A = this chain, B = another copy of it.
Amino acid sequence: MPDPTSGVHRPAAVDVPSPARAPAGAQAVRRALDLLHCFHDNGPDLSASDLARRLELPVSTAHRLARTLLTAGFLEQDFRTSRYRLGPSVTELGRLSYHQRGLHLAAPELADLAERTGATADLALRSGPYAVIVAGGSVTPKVGLRRPLHSTALGKVLLAWPRPGDAALDALPPLHAFTERTIVERDALRAELARVREDGHALNDGESAHGVRTLAVPVLDRAGHARFALAVRATPELITTAALPWFLERARACARALEVLLLAPGERREEEADAREGVSPASCRTGPGSR
């Protein structure tokens, strides 16, 4: 809106990769979608007035939106308490997109990685200002969990190799400090991201919680953007500085396997010139079909 003088058509997205708010006409829809996101941080079931409070909307409006989502199956209502939950349509579409992304193929790889390393293996993708874990190697994985971008290895990877539509660093909400190590200044984070890009991996050493060290590498597409981030998480006693290269190699091998499994041939990076590191090709994987 601030530049009506220029040509009729903006020839290409010059800057503003993500206008942060209210870019196109759709108030009701955006509110309804925000409403769905409410179920993330708050409990699994919310009342109508809970929703109104969270969204800072009049009860009336929140209620109407909830009713609409209800009849569409995106919410369901407990008939005793009349509280709302995420509905069957969400589960349905979620499963669909999960499979359309091929994420079911990732679980065995992650389990294998977790078993070999003795650490937790997680796969995440970027959703707005969060990294969302979508598959995991552990038995009870933290799947569905949202992690902040600035204080996690997963998030740093997603920030370091952003996809075209992703909001820039400056557009992110304030950087909350979880420990004294958390990077809270944007310039410091920018420098960290440059280092991450340089190294090809990200580290999180107690920046989101004490006693946890995480190593993350990207799953890159042909254009060099991170479609996913793959993390290996354990205590600093397991992932010692000395052992880091070994973990890194394992993670990279898994990430390369995931590039094949999760990306369509056209989106896939060429197999060649991938030997930036001196990783011997034989060490890639041993028994993929073992289960």
Contacts and interface: CB of A to CB of B under 8 A. Distances in A.
A71 B143 contact: no
Interface string A104-118: 100000000000000
A192 to B, nearest CB: 23
Contact of A96 (B72, B104, B144): B144
A117 to B, nearest CB: 21
Given A64-B24, A64-B25, A91 B86 contact: no
Contact of A28 (B29, B86, B90, B99): B29
Given A24-B64, A89-B127, A132-B92, A99 B69 contact: no
A85 to B, nearest CB: 7
B92 A146 contact: yes
A36 interface: yes
A19 B97 CA distance: 29
A128 to B, nearest CB: 5
Contact of A74 (B19, B33, B85): B33
A134 B95 contact: yes
A237 B18 CA distance: 58
Interface string A58-100: 0000001101111111101101000001111111111111111
Contacts of A96: 39-40, 86, 94, 144
Given A24-B71, A26-B68, A64-B25, A93 B92 contact: no
A69 B19 CA distance: 14
A26 B26 contact: no
A79 B24 contact: no
A4 B241 CA distance: 74
A257 interface: no
A79 B227 CA distance: 14
A126 interface: yes
A146 B24 CA distance: 33
Interface centre among A34, A93, A101, A146 (most CB of B within 10 A): A93
A90 B93 contact: yes
Contact of A144 (B68, B88, B98, B127): B98
Contact of A99 (B32, B65, B143): B143
A79 to B, nearest CB: 5
A127 B32 contact: no
B24 A127 contact: no
A134 B85 CA distance: 17
A40 B152 CA distance: 34
A85 B90 CA distance: 15
Q: Which 8 A-B pairs have the closest CB atoms?
A: A94-B94, A26-B68, A88-B127, A86-B97, A95-B144, A96-B144, A44-B100, A33-B72
